[in-house]
Amino acid sequence: MLSEKLLKELNKQINYELYSAHYYLAMAGYCLSEDLPGFANFFIAQAEEEKFHAMKFFNFVDEMDGKIKISGLEEPEEDYKSALEVFKAALEHEKFVTKRIYHLMDIAMEEKEHATISFLKWFVDEQIEEENSMKDIIVQLEKISGDSHAMYMLDKELGQRVFTPPADSDQ
């Protein structure tokens, strides 16, 4: 049985993950407006992944007999100056999500809520990947520094990204 405090925070996390999908779709929209369809594809796939994260929390709350609560979403930023600025904002967002996951883990550990601790471990590992994928692209964009051929090649590469839920997913 989840405590009221943990249930509230897990429900908040469903919303944060849904907001992340929203946030990345707005970034995809910006990339399309800049004629960067591959970059847009990257963020559309990222938004799919965020919905998958939201549903993992959604299903977990239900499995733990908690009452699911969905609330409204803020309007995401949609004006950026460059693809580099977009990825820097995406990295900051992922760092924020990592802090949220740690916050949830701190509560679960304080309460010795072992089922939640076990569930959250997947997200602790996932956040390392999430931050690294944004960092890798930032490094590439900094190297490219406006070279249009290199931008074209990176756009092509990012256009290949497809989100496939992990095979061991319990969603």
Residues in contact with ligand FEO by CB under 6 A are: 17, 20, 50, 53, 94, 97, 130
167/171 Cα distance (integer angstroms)? 10
Report the 10 Å Cβ neighbour count for 92.
Answer: 11
Between residues 9 and 50, which has the closer beta carbon with respect to ligand FEO?
A: 50
Which of residues 18 and 151 has its CB atom nearest to ligand FEO in the complex? 18
Residue 50 assigned ligand-binding role:
yes
User: Is 49 marked within a binding site?
Assistant: no
Beta carbons of 98 and 90 less than 8 angstroms apart: no
Tokens of 101: 């996951």
What is the closest distance, in whole angstroms, from the C-beta atom of residue 97 to ligand FEO in the complex? 4
Confirm or deny that 127 is annotated as ligand binding.
yes
Tokens of 10: 């897990």
Burial class of residue 46 (count of CB atoms within 10 Å of its CB; 0-12, 13-18, 19+): buried
In the complex, minimum distance from the CB of residue 108 to ligand FEO, in angstroms, rounded to a whole number:
17
Closest to ligand FEO by CB, 156 or 171: 171
Q: How far is the CB of 148 from ligand FEO (least distance, A)?
A: 29
